[in-house]
Amino acid sequence: MFRTCFIFLALLSLAAPSRAQDEARLKIKEHINKLAAGNMEGRGYVKKGAEKAAIYIQKEFEKAGLHPLSPDSTFVQFYHFQVNTFPDAMRLTVNKKLLNPGPDFLVDAQSSGYAQENMKVVKINLDKIRDSAAWQKARDGFTPGKMYRLSHSDSFCKRMSIPPRKLARELPDGCYMIPVKGKMTWAVGTDTIRPTVLYVQDSVLPRRIKNASVNVRSLLLPNHKSANLVAYVPGTLPDSFIVFSAHYDHLGRMGPAVFNGANDNASGTAMILYLADYFSRHPQRYSIAFIAFSGEEAGLKGSEYFAKNPLIPLSHIRFVANLDIMGDATDGVTVVNATEHPREFELLQEINKKNRYLPEVKNRGKSANSDHHHFSEAGVPAIFMYSNGGKGYYHDVFDKASELSMNNVVNVSRLLIDFVTELNKP
């Protein structure tokens, strides 16, 4: 009887961690599913997508029992910035074949609107343009009422030392088609350019294009109201903080095409919501703050505003861990700014080695590629962690919750929990 009871208790003790991991995985996945759902409109600037996500995050902060940091006792820090949007019309027809916005074509995010039926398509071989004088002559020849198909743009940009995404700014008024082979990625535009430029998958274009019809409507929002969301768990040293951050915004909508942004960055937001709930039940010596930034895709707008208008004195922040792209850690994680903070990075590696959470914790140098940047520039110790793995869907319409494996994601949370626990030791 004693032996049977011992075996039962042993099995129960093994099952408990497994059950806890399953619950953590389900909770993180639930947050991702809700933040990347269609009704969130890609958490962008059309149909109040970002606002809907902000409401969800605030409710989760409240549910976890977190405290506000803003002077008006809310979780919200409002600010404004300019952004270009594409709220409805988004149609491209080539030789009477209707193409799909998102998979088949993207509009340059800074494009102006354009609408014209049955335009003649003129092919311009950019390989034949060898210098700036020839390029100026070609631009002078572009006339309204036609669509210009610009082939070999990659080699042209390289030869002319023009960043590919800057080519659109070189073009005069009018409508342009740039064929693309392979992956296409969209972005957020914060101003407008004169032309309308369409990037089209080469594989969907007929060999000979006779005519095209375009209907694109853009709307510049010169003073778009946005919000960072800030909450914290008080510690026994209430004026000293460790900060977890993640951006909750994404690209939103391009007409009917929705960019759900499951990995980028519903996953990082889901992770800080899970950690907020955990630390609300396990308070530490330091206070633990959680910041969900908006405006990251528009150029780190939210974190820039916070760093200039901090709700926590920056000198009171012990460390910032910014989380972005957390949906598949099959191959471990990479830590940006690891070279700037070797002691903390070594601690992460030691914890990982001891517990075998992840295949690898890679180091990377300083970079301005996420919301840690403005903290780092202000002298606050900050890292940016992202996961390695998955299908490579990024800034496209394929980044959906159903495409995330969630491999090792719970172990990333355990690594971060152990890391913060160690930082809190006297």
Strand, coil or helix: what is 246?
Answer: strand
The reply to whether 142 and 181 lie within a common domain is yes
In this structure, is residue 5 part of a structural domain? no
**406 located within any domain:** yes
Burial 381-412 (b: 16+ CB within 10 A, else e): bbbbbbbbbbeebebbbbbbbebbebbbbbbb
Residue 4 lies in a domain: no
pLDDT at 15: 56
For the entire predicted model, the pTM comes to 0.94
Q: Is 384 helix (H, G, I), strand (E, B) or coil?
A: strand
Residues 273, 242 within the same domain? yes
Q: Are 84 and 194 in contact (CB under 8 A)?
A: no
Which one, of 83, 118, 31, lies nearest residue 323 by Cα? 31
Cα distance from N-terminal residue to C-terminal residue, the chain = 46
Query: What are the tokens at 303?
Result: 């974190």
CATH code of the domain in which 261 resides = 3.40.630.10
Instruction: Decide which of 174, 190, 216 is a domain's last residue.
Output: 216
CA distance 411 to 25: 9
Nearest to 230 by CA among 366, 66, 39: 66
Average of per-residue pLDDT values in the chain: 95
Last residue in a domain, options 216, 251, 274: 216
Question: Does residue 143 sit in the same domain as residue 203?
Answer: yes
Domain of 38, in residue numbers: 23-84+222-423
The answer to whether residues 327 and 253 belong to one domain is yes
Residue whose token pair is 């505003």: 305
What is the percent of the chain where pLDDT is above 70? 96
What pLDDT, on the 0 to 100 scale, is given for residue 18?
Answer: 76
Same domain? 163 vs 234: no
In total, how many domains does the chain have? 2
> What is the model's pLDDT at position 165?
84
Contacts of 389 (CB under 8 A, 6+ apart): 328, 329, 330, 331, 405, 407, 408
364 and 289 belong to one structural domain = yes
Query: Residue 219 has which token pair?
Result: 């709307």
Residue 12 has a pLDDT of 47
Does residue 6 lie within any of the structural domains? no
| Percent share of the chain, pLDDT over 90 | 92
Whether residue 3 is contained in a domain is answered as no
Residues 271 and 209 in one domain: no
Q: 327: Cβ–Cβ under 8 A, 6 or more apart, which residues?
A: 32, 262, 263, 266, 267, 387, 390, 404, 405, 406, 409
Backbone φ, ψ for residue 72 (5° rounding): -95, 15
Distance CA 273, CA 31 (A): 8
Report the CATH number that the domain containing residue 204 is assigned in CATH.
3.50.30
Asked, for residue 13, whether it belongs to a domain, the answer is no
Q: How many CB atoms lie within 10 A of CB 192?
A: 17
The pLDDT of 355-383, averaged and rounded, is 97
Q: Are residues 173 and 110 in the same domain?
A: yes
Q: Is residue 11, in this structure, part of any structural domain at all?
A: no
Helix (H) or strand (E) holding 105, with range, is strand 105-107
What count of other Cβ atoms lies within 10 Å of the Cβ of residue 139? 14
Structural domain contains residue 414: yes
Decide if pLDDT at 364 tops 80: yes
Of 195, 216, 237, which one is at a domain's C-terminal end? 216
Summarised one tens digit per residue, pLDDT across range 184-193 is: 999 999 999 9
Residues 308 and 381 in one domain: yes
Do 314 and 394 have their domain in common? Answer: yes
Query: What Å distances lie between residue 231 and 127, 292, 334, 346, CA to CA?
Result: 54, 9, 26, 28
The reply to whether 255 and 150 lie within a common domain is no
pLDDT the model gives residue 233: 98
| Shared-domain flag, residues 377 and 294 | yes
